[in-house]
Structure 1
């Protein structure tokens, strides 16, 4: 080849053209041609540039390679990355140069591809360490890819610093390189709470990731297993892992035998690896473990027992399971058992967390599950209260339990489970003649079949007995034969015994005749026996083919399996010759089943392939599924390529044709495939555009066919839109010309024009959109272009796009992708040009960025909440209601502003916002008062809404004409008063109006009053105010509510309500007293939720003791029983979890310390209710205190002791 001539690829297939291009590069290098010699040659096709890049790779020309890495076309970027020698150039391959110089000049897909290329190819530990240290601060997900290739010393130094960031995948990768990482990780679970939290979230995945350590450092792996293996969550080891452990680390198994056998190892593999005596000893040791009785059953240890000789097996089973003669029992585990790390109290609901209470309008339901309309029904499904309501209000609530009832066969089998075959045969042979029930006789034979164990002598004795009962009904004999075939492999029986089986099974179709009762397995046994003999009778064959089976479900030996498979093939192939096409297709389908099940290697010249090919000539439709099965099985793909094109309409089929036989491609067929496609065919069209561009090739023909296709539009405007992408890929130099033609065409081409512009990035050579102008290019093409632009171009693109209404959204997306993009400026422009879209984009921005979001965005979109007409934008309202997306610093302001905007539009959204506001009430400023006043002033607005006949824009078509009622919000707002003067101010504005609302409901006997009152009582315990000493009026708020209740609730009748309010007062005093006594504990958030629970609980118990004493003095002694009921209900109202159990336990201890005489029986009653909730240590401690108290000894024995 002359060094300056364009490249012309020669060859029929894709592979041949690849090789021809490589030969051109090789010849140029050998002839002394340099990159500079060919660089200036005009490039008429992509192959010209590929030739230059490959030559540069071959000659090591780094400058030309770097220029191509900066190219817009990813084809040339990918080709340039074949220069792996670039890794040796430290002046290029170092993170500082890449990030500061090279990457900013590369398009973003090229940067991503080169990052991946670095991860795959960079192996030198020193360089990997350099990349890791550079990226670990700002791009940890990329940096961690290099850590496993650093030195072990560096890995061990770095891993302890990043344990909380390690995913299961990267933990596995690091453990494969350095097994000590597994020990470091699991040792940290005892000391690092953040690591423990991540581990518990994906416990099984993290444990599985260290299984690779088993063979590199088994002691480390087994130590971890013996400490952290979770019985409930983890699966048993695989057979391979079990085999390795038993072979190489048997001592670890024997030291903790019960643990490994009962929970960890694969028992069949363990049994196979142990000797008979060892298996026997293992079973005996497990039988002695009383703590395993829930697991130790015959089925669990059956693989171990089956290792014993059949003659000894029955006696051993009787000894272990009947006589229980196993030696002295062991009551407790002799060693510590593994378990998951204990979850922190913070990971559970906590007694110091406030309950999330909802609006009364949401919680309320009418009798018989009215639920105040369908709107609230959907809302309530998210609430636990709704589930409780269903159970209360439903017609019936049945607690059903499915219990398996043992059949007569089950009971008979249990009777003979541990008796050997000989004794069972002797006993049951007498019973079979005495029983008059056909089903009972069938059960007897089935038990004997099971006890035979498939041994020939036992089966012979069984059949001799069975033959004497050959007059049994057909269905009875069929059941016995079916069981016998599955369990005893009867096709191996001697001829005389086989004849006994045939005699017993007369009339069941084993001779090919029509059976009196279904006995498919019996016929299969006959077929297997004849196939093994090499000849199958025609009558038997015909009956078998009518109800075909591959026979793979039977336990065949390897030599039997091979012989059966071969003869089945011959049987089916011969039967498919000379029959109707439909019958032949069915037989060939069965033949393919055999090939698949038996995993038979099939050559292209085999009889099966030839038969399918012959059928395809006769009937293509019948052969289509057979050809598809051959293709999926990877059989004769190349030989059947053209036939496969009948049904293969995916990209892989077209690529196969390019690789092996491009002449198999039919232009019309390919056009139809591209028209009907559901996925992009980018790889196929790219191969055409690069390697098949000569006039005689397929690409020009396809190009002309596509142009002709789109020139004949259909009635629909969207006609042929799917053809735009493949057409753009292969138009080459004609792209601009073709687009101009479409621009001059009629309106029916509008969508095709737009789609072709959107696919401009697929054109080769790359289209310069800047020359077109943004308006002519179209938004989709502009978006595609700028989202893959170079970093150095982004600032200019953002400024240009932000000025246009159509492209401002693209500008925002681009600025968010930039490291220091002008986010605030872009949002400002966005808010001016498209306010509603800016609101949605702002919420999505906060959701994606989280705590790292620019809070100045809130200042930009805040005015939009009042200017945008949210009544017209229902979906936007739903997006805005996702307050979980909002960063905490601006969440109070956001919710109050949004509530002001939507409370007159959407009742459901307003309720939801109030609930979100209630959660963060202490963080709100004085503007919260306006929101509360809005809730009182909403009555008239709601009456107006409900008075209108139709309102399609409102979310709430069934809005009630009552006020929004949210007692928890008002009570908690009052609790947050910082002085008595502040409280009086709040009470005069909010409290009095709230009480008036409740009074109106009470006077009307409204059903909401009961629900509202319950929420008032529940919201009085407000931990957020109790644990902050700047809120001084909590008790005064409770007292005001108490005074109001006394005006209409007599204390004698509603004693429990008053007790619960007094308990809340005592709880408040206990909190403040504990904070005063232990300030250092409550100053530390972690100690507050652990030690603080114990302290508050203990003081709370002491306060209860004093109040009980006063009540007994004031009233009578039996008031304790009344007080106990209220106390139990109050304690149950705390958030359920570990912390509640600890709180209750210490409250009981505190009560017992200050309780007086018989008054301490309250502790006995309360302990009886919560005894199963507290920890074992606390249980033991409380029971010891109770047992030592002689005054309540009788109550302890009556209420607690058995």
Structure 2
């Protein structure tokens, strides 16, 4: 029987194996776990032995006990018991959430959740987990759905389509291909699914590609219906090959679609016969709808399937003569397209969103994005568009020559161009001719020979012309394979280009590369050539070498570079060896520990360590000779992986001084290495020595710095990083180290705080909770709190909230607790640390979103209002935070938050802060009925700060606030406080700046139309508000001179009356939101039209008959400016015209004709015909109807 303490020896791997063998022996001996449990635990290895034995004996209670431990080492070890998943009494969602999770630390809960969905495979249990977490943790629940039965998946998927992202869709489709079909079928009916799909449709399409081989018909149906021809990438070669092998009939049915957009072109060409390729190209050429896509480059793989003797004639027939038969103008079948975007449309019963006006400093325009439409921005954009349109792509002479001979064979091209060559007037023209001929050789030896014979006659061409020809020949024709006589012609033509290793007169490294390749393939390399090549090294991978040539060239380059590196200086040798590694990697040559390059790098490391460091790094990353170069890697890499490799393979390399120096000087953490030392090497002398080395370094030179506080603090911050590994190695001695550090005085508080902050890394763990936060330090308490158990969290939060120093920790911990703990923490923070409460509020909003509790905002709101945000308070970051984080505030809180924010920023008296905050009022205006009680203070402040030079920027919010009055008394109170001062302010502006007043007056009048108040039965004073504004108008605007303005106000009054009358007559229609937006439009519009006809009759009686034309102009402008645009407005106007025709008197009905003439363009054709028929029936205006409607059709 094994007795603790368990002692291990050897390398890390040997210690693992020894521990496993002890566990197997104990299990085989028949001893029970209870016997071993009673043994004392002297080291972490003793506990690991017990856990592994319990796992082998399947002792559930002990495994669960370790899952609840504070040390994640034991939690992770316990989770290696995969059999635990079969114990449904333990692994079920209710037991986990109610019993196990509350008693586990937070990281352990996360790890157990991950372990559960990785290992749980039973369909019934997976279904139970999915249903349990579906509503509150969908992202976790969806991980179980793929392991449920197919029947359940098909039942559940239609209910969660709006939540599915591309990755879960892929996993579910792999299990059940029908899921992909269900998802794509829903795009036609579900707007939310369609919106999410269109945001990332390529990703969703990629996620269902897995269905191809399990249910190809589903995938191909999706492709033929929803493939985005303008945006999707083609299928991979393997997918294309599968379709052509197993489902070729789908391609045959729609060859144009699959060829032009879907399939991989080269794979398609390889799978089709020569005759099929030829026929397909002809069919594509006839497709006029593919004209922009169809060109030689697009179908080159198909054309190249033809034999060379037939290819030229076929290309000429298709691309030059266009002899392809009768063209086809339209697709012969329905082509795929992504579902259309459905944008939310505004309704005529919606209210306009006004934006604040900036009317100070001589400028008047709406703030925000609308300002981008002003001429300042429009002019440069227009100029840029004109400049882009004026750019004409001009073809060069070489392009024109290529186009002329594109579909001509080499022999004919050589015959034609040989004659032109002598008559070419410039070297550049002769270069172009040679370039075309090089391209026509196709790399064929006989063609290259003929070309070089011609080129030999022009060996006196300028050097840069010959260099261009040689470069092109090397790239296109693989000249290193030429016969000797032809090769000599090339060398003769390339004289002076450095092909013999001499200094070239013009750059032509491709020619030198061709000479080198030819010599390497021949097994010999002239010194002059190799010297010139090494000056401008290349791996030669850019050339088309055959497999056999690649092997020879790789071997030649290795010999060449290795030999050069042996005799070169260290820096040059390092460069050569780096190039050699590039070459070996390019040619995929396997590097072994015995390879010459490894020996060369080791030799170089002995000569110059720093120069060899990058080469050793490359070998390590390539996993070459890691064990053989272990000590070198340790010296040069000095990272965690190297240290762990020493523990695994070579304990003789353990040098506590070297390892201590690495830990001290490195800027990275070595947590994994330190953890392995603390677990498996705890009693080794090396660990004791390393710990002593770190401790000595931590206290080093402290005595000499005590008189200089600044130097002391700087030194302590530098040394504080040693606290992390020291804490991990100290174990039970950590308390002694802290006591020793504390005994040296408060001057070392930075080091002491760093060591306390890492107390959780000690193994065995230090009882930080029993120390109290003052002794433990806030960071250690914070770590303990954030990792704490759910069952203890509420009590811990209350304890932390009792002290000002730990309030921020309490706030962070409360986010993980229930509502009561959150309320308690925020209440305490609001009293003791208000700034921390405000900052934590936004963390709370980001975490909980729309589920945020309003009571938390109610706690923090008074704090924001009472805090001093002025410049003197030095709270710039806090001011910026509350202003920039509006986007994270939940929609239910945002209106009240915006009002509060406006008040807070106005109190700062900092112009640059609140000058743009007027935009916040736009959000407030949208939710005005909900926050009207808190708005009065804001409006008073706006009036207080406004003057003639900088008037109010948002007049509409004043008007709407008045329209929301609930009674006449309420209206009088509001009008007395705000209405009269507001109108007086406008009067003052009118007297000083008439043009500014016109802007403010226009928005004021438009804002009298307020559907939110008109449809609210509680708002009973809307008509009185409009009348008050009309009375104000009469004080400076005579009716006769401003008929249109008064007519618009009267129309708003008539609209209000129509709304109230319709709501009273049809309460059922307006009680249902959907019916109100459909049937309500016709009801209100018809009554509105009747009221208009009655008022028009009164105007005609009071004035003259031609007032109808004036009124028509005012009504048309009213519809355009006041009513929100959209299809519902067109329907509303139709109903208005019907009301006018029904209630109108005699020729006064011509008002309907005028309005129809100006608004008919936004009506659908059936509505236009319906109105025309109604107007034609009116005999009094029949002639006018014919005349006006004919004129409207003409224009």
Partner-residue secondary structure (3-state), 2:797: helix
Q: What is the distance in 1 between the residues matched to 2:529 and 2:183?
A: 65
Deviation at 1:1144, TM superposition (A): 6.2
Deviation at 1:483, TM superposition (A): 2.1
Q: What is the distance in 2 between the residues matched to 1:1151 and 1:354?
A: 22
Deviation at 1:891, TM superposition (A): 4.1
Q: What is the distance in 2 between the residues matched to 1:854 and 1:750?
A: 40
Q: What is the distance in 1 between the residues matched to 2:1095 and 2:423?
A: 78
Which has the higher mean CA deviation after the structures are superposed, 192-201 or 1017-1026?
1017-1026
TM-score computed with the length of structure 1 as normaliser = 0.87
* Equivalent residue number for residue 45 of structure 2: 47
Is this contact kept in 1: 2:104–2:790, CA < 8 A? yes
* Superposition pairs of residues 675-754 of structure 1, within 5 angstroms: 675-696=664-685, 698-712=686-700, 713=702, 715-717=711-713, 718-754=717-753
Is this contact kept in 1: 2:173–2:211, CA < 8 A? yes
* Equivalent residue number for residue 29 of structure 1: 27
Is this contact kept in 2: 1:1149–1:1182, CA < 8 A? no
* Equivalent residue number for residue 314 of structure 2: 316
Out of 240, 249, 252, the residue aligned to residue 247 of structure 2 is 249
Query: Is 1:880 equivalent to 2:882 in the alignment?
Result: yes
Query: Is 1:1000 equivalent to 2:999 in the alignment?
Result: no
Q: What is the distance in 2 between the residues matched to 1:73 and 1:120?
A: 22
Which has the higher mean CA deviation after the structures are superposed, 1030-1039 or 1047-1056?
1047-1056
Render the CA deviation track for 1:644-685: whole Å, top value 9, x for unaligned.
Answer: 223313322222222222433443443343334444321111
Render the CA deviation track for 1:1031-1051: whole Å, top value 9, x for unaligned.
Answer: 577687678767877887899
* Equivalent residue number for residue 629 of structure 1: 618
* Equivalent residue number for residue 938 of structure 2: 931
Q: What is the distance in 2 between the residues matched to 1:513 and 1:1061?
A: 94
Query: Is 1:904 equivalent to 2:893 in the alignment?
Result: no
Q: Quickly say closer, same or farther: Cα 1:847–1:590, change in 2 above 3 A.
A: closer
Q: What is the distance in 1 between the residues matched to 2:523 and 2:1166?
A: 73
Query: Is 1:575 equivalent to 2:564 in the alignment?
Result: yes
Deviation at 1:14, TM superposition (A): 1.1
Q: Quickly say closer, same or farther: Cα 1:860–1:611, change in 2 above 3 A.
A: same
Is this contact kept in 2: 1:935–1:963, CA < 8 A? no
Q: Quickly say closer, same or farther: Cα 1:498–1:117, change in 2 above 3 A.
A: same
* Equivalent residue number for residue 833 of structure 1: 832
Out of 353, 371, 379, the residue aligned to residue 385 of structure 1 is 371
Q: What is the distance in 1 between the residues matched to 2:1138 and 2:430?
A: 68
Is this contact kept in 2: 1:416–1:424, CA < 8 A? yes
* Superposition pairs of residues 251-266 of structure 1, within 5 angstroms: 251-266=249-264
Is this contact kept in 2: 1:7–1:47, CA < 8 A? yes
Q: What is the distance in 1 between the residues matched to 2:1170 and 2:621?
A: 68
Which has the higher mean CA deviation after the structures are superposed, 753-762 or 879-888?
879-888
Q: What is the distance in 1 between the residues matched to 2:1061 and 2:448?
A: 82
* Equivalent residue number for residue 112 of structure 1: 110
Deviation at 1:1181, TM superposition (A): 13
* Equivalent residue number for residue 775 of structure 2: 776
Render the CA deviation track for 1:309-330: whole Å, top value 9, x for unaligned.
Answer: 3333333333333433333333
Q: What is the distance in 2 between the residues matched to 1:80 and 1:344?
A: 52
* Superposition pairs of residues 779-858 of structure 1, within 5 angstroms: 779-819=778-818, 821-858=820-857
Is this contact kept in 1: 2:794–2:818, CA < 8 A? no
Q: Quickly say closer, same or farther: Cα 1:700–1:924, change in 2 above 3 A.
A: same
Deviation at 1:710, TM superposition (A): 0.7
* Equivalent residue number for residue 563 of structure 1: 552
* Equivalent residue number for residue 957 of structure 1: none
Deviation at 1:1151, TM superposition (A): 8.2
Is this contact kept in 1: 2:4–2:39, CA < 8 A? yes
Q: What is the distance in 2 between the residues matched to 1:1072 and 1:504?
A: 97
Deviation at 1:605, TM superposition (A): 0.5
Deviation at 1:632, TM superposition (A): 1.7
TM-score computed with the length of structure 2 as normaliser = 0.87
* Equivalent residue number for residue 596 of structure 2: 607
Q: What is the distance in 2 between the residues matched to 1:210 and 1:922?
A: 47
* Equivalent residue number for residue 1180 of structure 2: none
* Superposition pairs of residues 429-440 of structure 1, within 5 angstroms: 429-440=418-429
Deviation at 1:772, TM superposition (A): 1.6
Q: What is the distance in 2 between the residues matched to 1:1043 and 1:286?
A: 75
Q: What is the distance in 2 between the residues matched to 1:1177 and 1:1056?
A: 32
Render the CA deviation track for 1:49-76: whole Å, top value 9, x for unaligned.
Answer: 1122222222222222222222211111
Partner-residue secondary structure (3-state), 1:328: coil
Deviation at 1:709, TM superposition (A): 0.2
* Equivalent residue number for residue 1146 of structure 2: none
Deviation at 1:244, TM superposition (A): 1.6
Q: Which runs of 5+ in 2 are unaligned?
A: 706-710, 1142-1148, 1176-1184
Deviation at 1:8, TM superposition (A): 0.8
Q: Which runs of 5+ in 1 are unaligned?
A: 372-378, 941-959
Render the CA deviation track for 1:849-899: whole Å, top value 9, x for unaligned.
Answer: 233222222333333234332332333333334444444444444444444
Q: What is the distance in 2 between the residues matched to 1:1150 and 1:58?
A: 84
Partner-residue secondary structure (3-state), 1:646: helix
Which has the higher mean CA deviation after the structures are superposed, 779-788 or 29-38?
29-38
* Equivalent residue number for residue 235 of structure 1: 233
Q: What is the distance in 2 between the residues matched to 1:331 and 1:750?
A: 84
Out of 201, 204, 211, the residue aligned to residue 206 of structure 1 is 204
Q: Quickly say closer, same or farther: Cα 1:464–1:127, change in 2 above 3 A.
A: same
Which has the higher mean CA deviation after the structures are superposed, 492-501 or 1108-1117?
1108-1117
Q: Quickly say closer, same or farther: Cα 1:1079–1:1117, change in 2 above 3 A.
A: closer
Deviation at 1:173, TM superposition (A): 1.1
Q: What is the distance in 2 between the residues matched to 1:1052 and 1:235?
A: 67
Is this contact kept in 1: 2:8–2:680, CA < 8 A? yes
What is the root-mean-square deviation in Å for CA atoms of aligned residues? 4.2
Is this contact kept in 2: 1:649–1:673, CA < 8 A? yes
Query: Is 1:525 equivalent to 2:496 in the alignment?
Result: no
Query: Is 1:451 equivalent to 2:440 in the alignment?
Result: yes
Partner-residue secondary structure (3-state), 2:594: coil
Which has the higher mean CA deviation after the structures are superposed, 349-358 or 436-445?
349-358
Q: Quickly say closer, same or farther: Cα 1:496–1:925, change in 2 above 3 A.
A: same
Render the CA deviation track for 1:171-193: whole Å, top value 9, x for unaligned.
Answer: 11111111111112222222333
Q: Quickly say closer, same or farther: Cα 1:797–1:285, change in 2 above 3 A.
A: same
Is this contact kept in 1: 2:918–2:953, CA < 8 A? no
Q: What is the distance in 2 between the residues matched to 1:434 and 1:1167?
A: 70
Q: What is the distance in 2 between the residues matched to 1:281 and 1:1044?
A: 82
Q: Quickly say closer, same or farther: Cα 1:62–1:296, change in 2 above 3 A.
A: same
* Equivalent residue number for residue 280 of structure 2: 282
Render the CA deviation track for 1:924-969: whole Å, top value 9, x for unaligned.
Answer: 23342332122112259xxxxxxxxxxxxxxxxxxx9734421232
Is this contact kept in 2: 1:651–1:684, CA < 8 A? yes
Render the CA deviation track for 1:423-447: whole Å, top value 9, x for unaligned.
Answer: 3333333222222122222222222
Is this contact kept in 2: 1:464–1:500, CA < 8 A? yes
Q: Quickly say closer, same or farther: Cα 1:576–1:1144, change in 2 above 3 A.
A: farther
Which has the higher mean CA deviation after the structures are superposed, 87-96 or 46-55?
87-96
Is this contact kept in 2: 1:213–1:220, CA < 8 A? yes
Render the CA deviation track for 1:261-319: whole Å, top value 9, x for unaligned.
Answer: 22222222222222222222222222222222232333322332232333333333333
Q: Quickly say closer, same or farther: Cα 1:836–1:1159, change in 2 above 3 A.
A: closer
Q: What is the distance in 2 between the residues matched to 1:449 and 1:485?
A: 10
Which has the higher mean CA deviation after the structures are superposed, 973-982 or 780-789?
973-982
* Equivalent residue number for residue 497 of structure 2: 508
Is this contact kept in 1: 2:285–2:318, CA < 8 A? yes
Q: Quickly say closer, same or farther: Cα 1:384–1:787, change in 2 above 3 A.
A: same
Q: Quickly say closer, same or farther: Cα 1:690–1:991, change in 2 above 3 A.
A: same
Query: Is 1:269 equivalent to 2:258 in the alignment?
Result: no
Render the CA deviation track for 1:1163-1188: whole Å, top value 9, x for unaligned.
Answer: 888889x8xxx9999999999999xx
